[in-house]
């Protein structure tokens, strides 16, 4: 073989090695992206309500025969407390239809919890947390289902639809 042929063969070998490295790199990158995306809960809209959790997570959080709900209330006579109470009643009705025992209490920052006395034993570790925020969605965190809506959304029909989503999870 001549030096020219050796150089040409070596150059073609380097191109092939480079191509193989590129293909392997793209494959590894794709696998990493797919793995990362598969571990994130898919966002979906159910009954007009944004659900930012895996359906199985919601079902697992609501599987017990006895459910406890915590409403994060406001001090004084806030119309938001009324809206949260309506949401709480809607969720309670869905729990009743699913043959679940349902308890609820309210938490007011800096004050005693509403509905909690020395005789009650359900004023901690809720399964469902109802609160005012900007999410307008249902999500799961630390094994609890959070139902969060802004001040306007919580006053509307959205509360009925959100409660129905939870009711479906309770019976499925």
Tokens of 152: 């306007």
Number of Cβ within a 10 Å radius of residue 11: 10
Residue carrying the six token digits 């309770």:
170
66-72, strands of its sheet edge to edge: 44-46, 49-52, 137-141, 144-149, 128-132, 66-72, 101-107
* pLDDT band for position 41 (cuts 50, 70, 90): low
Percent over 70 (pLDDT), the chain: 78
- Which of 16-20, 135-139, 151-155 shows the lowest mean pLDDT across its residues? 16-20
Number of Cβ within a 10 Å radius of residue 125: 10
- Condensed to tens digits (0 to 9), the pLDDT of residues 87-103 reads 999 999 999 999 999 99
- State pTM to two decimals: 0.74
- Condensed to tens digits (0 to 9), the pLDDT of residues 55-114 reads 999 999 999 999 999 999 998 878 899 999 999 999 999 999 999 999 998 888 877 777
* Gyration radius of the chain over CA positions: 27
The pLDDT value given to residue 90: 95
DSSP per-residue string spanning 31-51: HHHHHHHHTSPPPEEETTEEE
DSSP per-residue string spanning 50-64: EEES-HHHHHHHT-S
pLDDT at residue 1 above 60? no
Give the separation between CA 151 and CA 55, rounded to whole angstroms: 26
Under 8 Å CB-to-CB from 6, ≥6 apart: which residues? none
> What ranges do the domains of the chain cover?
1-40, 44-171
The yes/no answer on whether domain 44-171 falls in CATH 3.40.50 is yes
Q: Is 41 left (phi over 0), alpha (psi -120 to 50) or beta?
A: beta
């Amino acid at each position: 073989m001549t030096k020219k042929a050796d150089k040409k063969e070596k150059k073609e070998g380097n191109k092939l090695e480079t191509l193989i490295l590129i293909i392997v790199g793209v494959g590894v990158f794709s696998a990493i992206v797919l793995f990362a995306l598969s571990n994130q809960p898919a966002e979906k809209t159910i009954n007009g309500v944004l659900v930012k959790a895996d359906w199985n997570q919601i079902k697992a959080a609501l599987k017990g025969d006895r459910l406890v709900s915590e409403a994060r209330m406001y001090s004084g006579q806030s119309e938001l407390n009324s809206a949260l109470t309506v949401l709480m009643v809607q969720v309670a009705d869905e729990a009743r239809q699913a043959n679940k025992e349902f308890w609820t209490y309210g938490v007011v920052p800096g004050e005693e919890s509403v509905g909690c006395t020395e005789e009650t034993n359900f004023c901690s570790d809720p399964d469902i947390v109802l609160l005012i925020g900007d999410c307008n969605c249902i999500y799961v965190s630390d094994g609890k289902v959070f139902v969060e809506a802004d001040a306007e959304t919580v006053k509307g029909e959205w509360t009925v639809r959100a409660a129905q989503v939870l009711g479906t999870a309770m019976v499925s």
